[in-house]
Structure formats: C-alpha cells, structure tokens
C-alpha cells in the first residue's frame, strides 16, 4: 500500500528541488551576465586609462607583467607599449569591440578600442578562465546555501507532514484497536476539521449498527423465548392426544416430529444468539476439554447407541481457559452433527490433544463428508447442503455449525474442516490457542 | 563549469530516471515487487564504474572508435530490451508469478544497461577533474543540481503516472517508453555516424536557434523524446523507425492477446 507521507514528502521535495534548482540556474545565468558586463566595463576603464597616457609617459612606465590582464598600445601600425605577457604581434584585429582570442597559452577576452588620436589603438585583455572562475566563485556563494539546505528542507518536510498526518494515524489506531463488539462512538473533540466529517459519519454508522444489532438480538431472543411456552403447551397436548388415540398413528408421529423440529429450531436460535461474540457474557475458567468431551459423550450416549454407532474418545487431559457452557454446546453440536450424518453402524472419533501451541479438538465421522467447495458455506446460518433433500435424509435447521463458529471465535480458536481418517467422512479440527494461565497437560 | 556540469549530469540522470520511473509505475500496477530496482541500480553503478575505468582499453577497439561502437551497442541493447519488455508486458494480461519474475528480470537488465551507459559518462566527466581543487566546488555543485533536477523529474513522472486512471497508465507508459527507446536508437545512430560506421549526411533541419540542445529545456526534451537540434536523415530514420516499431509490436501483441481471449 502506498504511504501518504512518502507521497507528500517525495512530491513536495521533488517540486521544490525542480523549482529551486531551475530558479538557481536562471539566477546563475543572469548573475554571470551581470558579472561579465562588470568585467567588460573594467576593460573599458583600463583602455581609457591607457589612452589618457601621453606617449612619453609610456616610456617612463615599467614593463607590466600581470597574470590576469594584458595590453597593447599601437600607434600608426607600430607597437608603442605592451605588457610582458603579450606577443609582439596584434592580439586582435584593429576593429572596435570585444572578441575572444588565444595567446600566451590562454584564452582571453579582448577589447579593441581606438585612442583619442586616430593613429592610436588600445588593446586590453583579461584571461577568460579567471573571469569565469571569479564570477562563478561570487555566484556560487549565493547558490550553494540553497543546495546545501535542501536535505534539511527534506527532513523538515518529513517531520511536518508526519505531524500533519498524526490525527489520521490516531483515528486509524482507534478504529484498529476497537473490539468487534465495541460500537461506542469515537471521540470528536480535538479532531481536525478535515476528519470531523469522517468521524461523524463513522459514529453515526456505529450508532445505527448498535441499534440494528440490539433490535435483531431482541427480536430473535424474544421470538424464540415466546415460542417456548406454546411449544411446551403443544407437547402436553400431544402427550394427551397420544393417550386418547391409538399408538402408531402415522399422523400423530408426523405431528410429533414437527413439534420436535420446531422445538429444536427455537433452542438452536436461542443458542446462536447467546453465543454471538457481541452478546455473549463469557464466564471463562480453566477446564479440562478432554473431561468435558467425555461428559458430553456420556450424556448423549443413548443417541449413538440407538443408531448402533461406535464412538471413541482419544487423547489426554488438556487444559484450556474457556466457557464451560459454550464448550458443552460446541461439543454437543459437533457430536450431534456427526451422529446425524453417520449411517447406522458407522464410527465417530473424538480426540483431544495438547502441545506447546495449544489444545486441538478433532471430531471425525465415517459419514458421506462434505465437498471442499462447501467448507465455507456450511458455517452460514440456515445453510444446509442440498436443503432438506440432503442424501442423508436427516432434517436439521442449519444452525449447528454457525453456533460452533461463534463459540470458536469467542475462544479465539481456529476451525478447519477436512476429510476424516475413515474411508469417508468429515473431520472438524478446532485449535484453541494456549493461554499462559491454562497450562498444558497438567 | 557549473553549467556544463549541470547539463552533462542532467542529461544522463534524467534519461535513466525516466526509464526507472515508468518501469516502477508499471511494476506497481502489475503487482510486481519493487525490490528489483535496488539490484538494477547497484549492478548499473558497478558496471558503469568498471566500464568508465577501462575506457582507454575500449577506445582502442575497432580501429580507435571502440568507445563510440560500444556505447552504440549499449544504446541498442537498451532499446531491444525495452521493446521485449513492452511487448511481453502487453502480452501478459494478468501476470502470474512466473511472468512477474520474467518481467522483473527484463526490467533489471534494462535499467542496469541504461545506468552503465549513462553512469559511465558521468563518471568519465567527473574523473577528468580529480585533483583539480579549483574546479571542485562548481563541478560538484553543478553535478548535484543536474542530478537533483533529473531525479526530481523522475519522481514526479512516477507519481503522475500512478495518479492517472489505472487503465490509462499502460498506454501512456508505453508511449513514454517508446519515446525514450527511440531516443536511444537515435543516439546509437549518431554514435555510429561518429565512428564512421554509418554515412555522415547533411542535417535535415537545425532548430538550435529556438531550442539549443545544451539548455535545460533542451536536455529535458532530449531525455523525454530524444531531441536533437540538427538530426541527419539516418538519425531521424532510427528515431521514428524505433518509435513506430515499438508501438506497432505492442499494438500487435495487445491485439493477439485480445483475439486469443475472445476466441
């Protein structure tokens, strides 16, 4: 993912560098022209000075042997005076103006200017390399600080952009650290104007979500709870009716089946809503999952025996921190599913193992199993593979594995479906992470 | 000296920065990890130092025109690699891991070769002033300004491309790559003319009055579209031929991919 901070810093710094450097180059060029004009002006002054001297004065002056400047004074085509660093020949044609030329091993800027008498010509020259380096030295003094200050500007921009993005980072942290059931509003005090709208909209969304959750919870729980009483009345009426009518009446059996199914559905809906992470009032304690599995199997043993199914419990004592009621519900749902979908005479194996990483519960059966592409969907509420036309012919409400998933999430465990170790069938593996206070195999 | 230094460094850095920016933007949209660029720059810098250090030997090859010929070969290699990359990128609609690795390898080769070529020029220029302390400050300052402008322009092109609509990026990047690649082909032709391997001809036109090559804008255009103020017919043919060949092959590759997907 791209970082806003990197983007802003790179783009700001690149734009600044481009603008500043191009401006500095323009400044450099303009300053160079100014300095060139100034130095050219010096040549003019020198030429005037030499022109103001009388020919007799030249005879008295000592020979000039400069490094940066050179001159020649010509009268009527004869060399009257010259600096030692010039040759005896003309260093430039006798036409007024500036030109560049080479002599004495250097490149020179030469000014040719007629003297106050028509016969006299003054030629003054300045070494081109010294002119440039002098000009460059002057201008670099101005340009260099701009270049040197850019890294500092980069650090400052990095810090300022970081500071500017702090409220956004804080908001992301607040949202990231929220628990899934925490729908409390985000604090708006002190938030910058740009984020107020975002926080307002998020808080409004949280509020609507909380109300929707509450409505859903109350509706489902109330409906399920209110249905329990008429179902109990129906059961009593059913019992009375079965006493009055002949036993084995097929209509009576169907009615009984229907009432049991409605009763199961209502109980499962209640269990589902009790186990949702948003509503679950957990009562966590240290418990032995192996012992809990043993108790649950013995409680529902008649169910397996009635279908002539073999059930086996493997593993050893494995302690974890969990909610006893929720884990009982989880085990019951897994065992009930295994029993339902395993044909008569089939096998079910429950294993509870523990190691350094945590406790693993595995429930596998020798039923028909589930196709891999269905693994995700079976956890959806009311989803049943093939609907009521499942090959097993077993009727259910499609809530069992949804409840199992809720309870798994409550315990921060991981659930995985796979093929059982029998010739066919489903294996459900639940890995409970180890908590420091649980201990292993104690 | 400062201006000369700016122009030389800017010319080389800008070209490499543009290639890197466009390839990085394409990597982003193809979901290719960007770690290849570190390898490419490292290999390129190492290669350029080795190449520049052996210029004297290289220059003696091919009857004294070894440097021109090898530089032209480097430019042609970059051009060919850019063509292969652009065609391969256009042919792979959704790059899987194997395709991504191939694209990464191609990009590494392109950038390394480009840096060897551009970097060796900078290294040669700077090494000419080693020991001359009077020129140290203007040369270094000019180099920094040139590199700063080149890298900044590259960074802006990268973010500009990434901020465009996602489906436009491959098209614009291909056009940019085609202009940079065609510039390489044009430069290779110029180097081969200098080596007398290609005939020297009269310039087709001369635009140095309006836009001198040694100005900052001239250098920007040189890196972007291979601007030459007075190109010969061979250079112009290499430039336009190279440009149209790359675009044509990419268009063909896209067409074949599309007809394959439809069929």
pLDDT of residue A248 exceeding 70: no
Across all residues in chain B, what is the average pLDDT?
87
Whether residue B6 and residue A22 make contact (CB cut-off 8 A), yes or no, is no
Report which of B75, B88, B45 is spatially closest to residue B194, judged by C-alpha positions.
Answer: B75
**pLDDT for B38:** 93
> Which ipTM did the prediction report?
0.84
Determine the average pLDDT of the residues in B183-211.
Answer: 87
More confident residue, A255 or A395: A255
**pLDDT for A409:** 86
Quick one: pLDDT band at residue A214, thresholds 50, 70, 90? confident
Q: Which two tokens stand for residue A99?
A: 């030109």
Percent of chain B with pLDDT over 90: 38
CATH code (residue B233): 1.20.1250
Name the residue among A14, A21, A132 with its Cβ closest to that of B145.
Answer: A21
Determine the average pLDDT of the residues in B3-22.
Answer: 88
Determine the average pLDDT of the residues in A24-43.
Answer: 85
Whether residue A21 and residue B138 make contact (CB cut-off 8 A), yes or no, is no
Which range is most confident: A4-13, A31-40, A396-405, B203-212? A4-13
Contacts of A14 in chain B (CB under 8 A): 151-153, 155-156
Whether residue B155 and residue A132 make contact (CB cut-off 8 A), yes or no, is no
Selected for mutation to probe chain B from A5, A24, A29, A136 (highest B CB count within 10 Å) is A136
Per residue in B107-137, pLDDT (tens digit) is 999 999 999 988 998 988 888 877 777 777 7
Diameter of chain A by CA atoms? 158
Query: Worst-scoring range by mean pLDDT, A243-247, B235-239, B247-251?
Result: A243-247
Determine the average pLDDT of the residues in B98-104.
Answer: 86
pLDDT of residue A277 exceeding 90: no
Taking CA A207 as the corner, what is the angle to CA A205 and CA A210, rounded to the nearest 5 degrees? Answer: 110
Rounded to a whole number of angstroms, the distance between the first and last alpha carbons of chain A is: 46
Residue of chain A minimizing CA distance to B162: A2
Interchain CB contact of A132 with B (< 8 Å): yes
Q: pTM for the whole thing?
A: 0.66
CA-based R_g, chain A, Å: 49
Rounded CA-CA distance A58/A78 in Å is 14
How does DSSP classify residue A184?
P
Rounded CA-CA distance A367/A425 in Å is 4
State which residues form the domain around B137: 2-262
How many domains, in total, are found in chain B? 1
Rounded CA-CA distance A229/B101 in Å is 67
Residue of chain A minimizing CA distance to B7: A25
Quick one: pLDDT band at residue A176, thresholds 50, 70, 90? confident
Rounded CA-CA distance B171/A429 in Å is 50
**pLDDT for A392:** 54
In chain A, the domains with their CATH numbers are: 4-159 (3.30.450), 276-441 (3.30.565.10)
Residue A321 bridge partners (DSSP): A286
pLDDT of residue A211 exceeding 60: yes
pLDDT of residue A63 exceeding 70: no
**pLDDT for B225:** 76
Q: How far is B15 from chain A (nearest CA, A)?
A: 16
Interchain CB contact of A147 with B (< 8 Å): yes
**pLDDT for A440:** 41
Find tokens 């604090």 and name the residue. A187
**pLDDT for B94:** 64
Find tokens 């409605």 and name the residue. A262
Whether residue A13 and residue B162 make contact (CB cut-off 8 A), yes or no, is no
- Give the full edge-to-edge strand order of the sheet including A106-114: A78-82, A69-75, A120-127, A106-114, A97-103
Sign of CA dihedral B135, B137, B140, B141: negative
Per residue in A337-380, pLDDT (tens digit) is 898 888 888 999 999 998 888 899 999 999 888 888 888 888 88
SS3 of residue A292 by DSSP: helix
Residues with Cβ < 8 Å from B152, sequence gap 6 or more?
Answer: A13, A14, A15, A17, A18, A21
Contacts of B152 in chain A (CB under 8 A): 13-15, 17-18, 21
Percent of chain A with pLDDT over 90: 21
Selected for mutation to probe chain B from A3, A11, A127, A150 (highest B CB count within 10 Å) is A11
Query: Worst-scoring range by mean pLDDT, A101-110, A274-283, A305-314, B33-42?
Result: A274-283
Diameter of chain B by CA atoms? 70
Which CA distances in Å does A157 have to A21, A24, B57? 18, 21, 47
More confident residue, A389 or B94: B94
Q: Which two tokens stand for residue A383?
A: 């989803």
Interchain CB contact of A15 with B (< 8 Å): yes
């Amino acid at each position: 993912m791209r970082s806003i901070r990197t983007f802003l810093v790179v783009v700001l710094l690149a734009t600044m560098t481009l603008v500043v450097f191009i401006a500095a180059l323009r400044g450099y060029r303009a300053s160079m022209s100014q300095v060139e004009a100034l130095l050219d002006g010096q040549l003019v002054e020198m030429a005037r000075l030499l022109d103001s001297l009388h020919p007799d004065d030249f005879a008295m002056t000592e020979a000039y042997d400069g490094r940066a400047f050179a001159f020649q004074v010509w009268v009527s085509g004869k060399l009257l005076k010259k600096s030692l660093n010039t040759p005896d020949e003309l260093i430039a044609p006798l036409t007024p103006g500036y030109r560049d030329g080479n002599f004495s091993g250097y490149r020179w800027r030469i000014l040719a200017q007629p003297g106050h008498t028509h016969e006299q010509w003054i030629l003054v020259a300045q070494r081109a390399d010294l002119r440039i380096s002098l000009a460059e030295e002057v201008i670099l003094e101005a340009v260099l600080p701009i270049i040197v200050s850019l890294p500092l500007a980069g650090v400052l921009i990095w810090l300022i952009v970081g500071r500017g993005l702090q409220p956004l980072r804080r908001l992301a942290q607040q949202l990231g650290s929220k628990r899934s059931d925490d729908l409390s509003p985000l604090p708006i005090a002190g938030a910058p104007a740009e984020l107020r709208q975002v926080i307002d909209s998020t808080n409004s969304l949280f509020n609507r979500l909380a109300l929707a959750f509450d409505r859903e919870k109350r509706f489902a729980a109330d409906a399920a709870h209110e249905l329990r009483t008429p179902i109990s009345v129906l059961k009593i009426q059913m019992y009375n009716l079965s006493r009055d009518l002949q036993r084995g009446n097929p209509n009576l059996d169907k009615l009984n089946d229907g009432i049991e199914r409605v009763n199961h559905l209502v109980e499962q809906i209640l269990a589902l809503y009790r186990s949702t992470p948003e509503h679950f009032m957990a009562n966590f304690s240290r418990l032995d999952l192996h012992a809990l599995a043993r108790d649950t199997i013995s409680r529902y043993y008649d169910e397996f025996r009635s279908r002539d199914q073999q059930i086996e419990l493997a593993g050893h004592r494995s302690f974890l921190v969990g909610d006893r009621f929720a884990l009982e519900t989880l085990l019951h749902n897994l065992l009930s599913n295994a029993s339902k979908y395993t044909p008569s005479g089939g096998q079910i194996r429950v294993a509870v193992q523990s190691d350094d990483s945590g406790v693993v519960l595995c429930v596998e059966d020798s039923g028909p199993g589930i196709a891999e592409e269905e693994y995700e969907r079976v956890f959806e509420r009311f989803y049943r593979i093939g609907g009521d036309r499942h090959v097993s012919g077993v009727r259910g409400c499609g809530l069992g594995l949804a409840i199992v998933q809720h309870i798994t999430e409550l315990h921060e465990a991981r659930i995985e479906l796979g093929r059982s170790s029998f010739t066919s069938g489903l294996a459900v593996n639940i890995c409970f992470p180890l908590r420091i206070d649980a201990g292993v195999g104690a | 000296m400062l201006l000369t230094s700016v122009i030389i460094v800017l010319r080389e850095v800008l070209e490499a920065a543009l290639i890197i920016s466009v390839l990085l933007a394409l990597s982003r949209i193809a979901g290719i990890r960007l770690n290849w660029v570190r390898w490419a720059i490292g290999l390129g810098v190492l290669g350029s130092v080795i190449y520049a250090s052996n210029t004297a030997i290289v220059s003696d090859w091919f009857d004294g025109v070894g440097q021109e010929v090898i530089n032209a070969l480097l430019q042609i290699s970059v051009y060919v690699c850019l063509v292969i990359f652009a065609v391969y990128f256009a042919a792979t609609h959704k790059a899987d891991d194997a395709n991504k690795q191939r694209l990464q390898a191609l990009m590494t080769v392109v950038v390394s070769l480009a840096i060897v070529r551009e970097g060796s020029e900078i290294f040669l220029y700077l090494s000419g002033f080693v020991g001359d302390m009077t020129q140290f400050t203007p040369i270094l300052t000019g180099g920094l300004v040139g590199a700063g402008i080149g890298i900044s322009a590259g960074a802006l092109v990268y973010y500009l491309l990434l901020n465009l609509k996602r489906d436009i990026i491959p098209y614009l990047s291909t056009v940019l790559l085609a202009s940079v690649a065609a510039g390489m082909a044009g430069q290779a032709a110029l180097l081969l003319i200098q080596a007398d391997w290609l005939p020297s001809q009269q310039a087709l036109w001369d635009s140095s009055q309006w836009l001198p090559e040694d100005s900052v804008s001239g250098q920007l255009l040189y890196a972007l579209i291979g601007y030459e103020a007075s190109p010969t017919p061979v250079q112009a043919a290499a430039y336009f031929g190279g440009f149209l060949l790359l675009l044509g092959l990419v268009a063909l590759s896209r067409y074949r991919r599309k007809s394959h997907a439809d069929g």
